[in-house]
Chain A
Amino acid sequence: MEELLKRLKDESIEGEIFFRKGTSTLVIFEANKLKSIESSESSGVGLRVIIDNKIGYASQYGIYEPDWLLDKAKATANIETRMKLPLALNVREEDSSEDLNKISIEELTELGKGVIEKVLSSYPEVICNVEIGKNDGETLILNTTGVNCLRKKVSLSIGIHVNRIKGTDMLDIYEETTVREPSKLDTDRLLSKIFEALEAGENITKPSSTQIPVIFTPKAVYVLLLPLMSALSGKILLMGVSPLEDKVGKKFFDGKFTLIDDPANPEGLSSTSFDDEGVPTKVLTLVDSGVVGEFYFDLHTASLLNREANGHGFRGGLSQPSPGLTNLIINPGDASIKDIISSFDEVLVVDQMMGVGQGNVLSGEFSVNIHLGFLYRKGEIVGRVKDSMLAGNAYNALSNIYALSREREWIEGTLYTPYICIPELTVVSKE
Chain B
Amino acid sequence: MEEIKEVFLRLAREKGIRYGELRLEELEVTSISFRGKELEELSVSKSRGGNIRILGRYGWGFVSFNDISHKSIEDYFDQAYTASNLILGEDLEIEYSGPVVDRVIVPMKKDFRGIPLEEKKKLLEEYNNIMLSFSPKIQSTQVRYSDRFTRRYFVNTEGVDVVQERGDIAGVLFALAKEGDLVEQYHYSLGGIDGFQVIEGLHDKALHTAEMAVRLLSAPVVKGGEYTVVLDQRLAGVFIHEAFGHLSEADHVYENEKLKELMVIGKRFGPDFLNVVDDPTYPGLRGSYKYDDEGVLSRKTYLIKNGILSGRLHSRETARKMGESVTGNARAINYRFQPIVRMSNTYIEPGIYSFEDLISDIKYGIYAVGAYGGQTSMEMFTFSAQEGYIIENGKLGDLVRDVVLTGNVFTTLQNIEGIGNDLEFSQGGGCGKGGQSPLPVSTGSPHIRIRNVVVGGR
Contacts and interface: CB of A to CB of B under 8 A. Distances in A.
Contacts of B406: 354-355, 369, 387-389
A39 B404 contact: no
B226 A386 contact: no
Contact of A239 (B66, B139, B376): B139
A332 interface: no
A165 B258 contact: yes
B175 to A, nearest CB: 11
B454 A389 contact: yes
Contacts of B62: 36-39
Q: Which of A72, A238, A363 is packed against the most chain B CB atoms within 10 Å?
A: A363
A389 B45 CA distance: 42
Interface in B42-63: 42-49, 58-63
Contacts of A239: 35-36, 139-140, 176
Contacts of A80: 38-39
B87 A37 contact: yes
Contacts of A37: 59-62, 83-84, 86-87
Nearest to B64: A40
B45 A62 contact: no
Contact of A76 (B42, B379, B457): B42
A1 interface: no
A78 B404 contact: no
A277 to B, nearest CB: 16
B439 to A, nearest CB: 17
Given A37-B87, A170-B378, A426 B457 contact: yes
Interface in B206-238: 221, 224-226
A78 B39 CA distance: 8
Contacts of B452: 430-431
B1 interface: no
Contacts of A243: 181, 183
Contact of A358 (B47, B181, B224, B382): B382
Contact of B183 (A241, A367, A390): A241
Interface in A50-106: 56-63, 68, 72, 75-76, 78-80, 105-106
A229 interface: no
Contacts of B226: 428, 430-431
Interface in A366-398: 367-369, 371, 386-393
B272 interface: no
Contacts of B255: 30-31, 33, 127
Given A62-B48, A240-B140, A34 B87 contact: yes
A358 B454 contact: no
A355 to B, nearest CB: 4
Given A241-B183, A358-B384, A41 B455 contact: no
Given A62-B66, A78-B42, A241-B176, A35 B60 contact: yes
A360 interface: yes
A57 B42 contact: yes
Contacts of B268: none
Contacts of B115: none
B67 A365 contact: no
B201 to A, nearest CB: 24
Given A36-B59, A39-B79, A44-B66, A238 B35 contact: yes
Contacts of A389: 224, 382, 404, 406, 454-457
Contacts of B401: 360
A426 B458 CA distance: 6
Contacts of A127: 255-256
Interface residues of B, number: 80
A101 to B, nearest CB: 16
A89 B66 CA distance: 30
A379 B408 CA distance: 30
Interface residues of A, number: 74
Interface string A146-185: 0000000000000000010100111010000000000000
B456 A33 contact: no
Interface stretch (B306-314, B367-375, B392-400): B367-375
B188 to A, nearest CB: 15
Contact of B42 (A56, A240, A426, A429): A56
A320 interface: yes
B121 interface: yes
A368 B375 CA distance: 10
Nearest to B404: A367
B268 to A, nearest CB: 13
Given A241-B139, A391-B224, A43 B454 contact: no
B382 A60 contact: no
Contacts of A33: 59, 89-90, 255
Contacts of B134: none
Contact of A354 (B44, B376, B458): B376
A349 B401 CA distance: 27
A368 B404 contact: yes
Contacts of A362: 176, 183, 185
B47 A168 contact: no
A134 interface: no
A106 B88 CA distance: 11
Most chain B C-beta atoms within 10 Å of own C-beta, residue among A168, A210, A367, A389: A367
Nearest to A355: B382
A163 B117 CA distance: 49
Contacts of B404: 355, 358-359, 367-368, 389, 391
A264 interface: no
Interface string B118-153: 000100000000000000000110000000000000
A304 interface: yes
A192 interface: no
A86 to B, nearest CB: 20
A212 interface: no
Contacts of B259: 165, 170
Nearest to A26: B62
A203 interface: no
A72 B28 CA distance: 12
B363 to A, nearest CB: 17
9 pairs of A and B residues whose beta carbons are closest in the complex: A389-B456, A31-B255, A62-B66, A367-B456, A61-B47, A239-B140, A36-B60, A355-B382, A367-B404
Interface of B: 35-36, 38-49, 58-68, 79, 83-84, 86-90, 117, 121, 139-140, 176, 178, 181-185, 221, 224-226, 255-256, 258-259, 262, 336, 338, 372-384, 401-402, 404, 406, 408, 410, 452, 454-458
Given A37-B84, A391-B224, 17 more contacts: A33-B255, A36-B83, A39-B63, A41-B63, A42-B65, A42-B336, A165-B262, A168-B379, A238-B35, A240-B36, A240-B139, A358-B373, A369-B380, A371-B377, A386-B380, A387-B380, A392-B458
5 contacts: A38-B63, A38-B64, A59-B45, A354-B375, A369-B380
